[in-house]
Structure 1
């Protein structure tokens, strides 16, 4: 059991360090990118749904959505099933911005892959699949 805990701690620390080093290179705040990612992947969502997915307060997500709307990256429209509700929809500009941010992040990571040996690159190629299996 202790070996599993040690491995879990090592993974947690390594992934955390990796994210902290890549995140500052992003042109948009992480919360805005996360909201755009949910909308791109899942389609129109209410602010409450976005807040739940990101584990933030409704008020925080309202601010995030407002900032995205100010940049014309999302629009708000009445829900098709319940006209009293409002849903957030990613715009074509939002999709472009999300794609650009993802490509920029991937380019930074790709640049660091040059430091790996061929054997390490083979291991790195398996990491995404392994991490997906570890995600609850």
Structure 2
């Protein structure tokens, strides 16, 4: 394997491990949090659009959206252009829950950063910009 491929695999594995570890500490299921994240960033979406963005079946996203609706984190309204479709809108409570989850994740990472040496913290400070450059 070339040096670039070895580095790519090491980065992929480390980022994957990091994300999985942070997710295990979250209070809300990842699928629900991901759906709220899309709605918070993009605004109202159909269940089909949410399913496409998450790469899940429509039925799975319908279940997720209904769980969010039961918690009053989203509202469901008929699509004005296609009454067969439902538009999902994040509620103020959903936005607050999303913000809480983001802050909780940041706190988990902040706690982990405190274990690093000053040199490691300097390296960690550069990681977000490097990862953004690597993102196609």
TM-score class, shorter-chain normalisation, is over 0.9
Q: Secondary structure at the match of 2:127?
A: helix
1:63 matched to which residue of 2? 63
1:38 matched to which residue of 2? 38
Q: Secondary structure at the match of 1:115?
A: coil
Distance 1:40 1:66, change over 3 A: same
Post-superposition CA distance 1:52-111 (Å, at most 9, x none): 100111111000001000100000112244344211000000001111111111101101
- Long gaps (5+) in structure 1: none
1:114 matched to which residue of 2? 114
1:88 matched to which residue of 2? 88
- Long gaps (5+) in structure 2: none
Distance 1:76 1:12, change over 3 A: same
- CA drift of 1:130 comes to 1.5
1:134 matched to which residue of 2? 134
Q: Secondary structure at the match of 1:88?
A: strand
1:9 matched to which residue of 2? 9
Alpha-carbon distance in structure 1 between the residues aligned to 2:83 and 2:51: 20
Q: Secondary structure at the match of 1:82?
A: coil
Aligned residues between the structures = 136
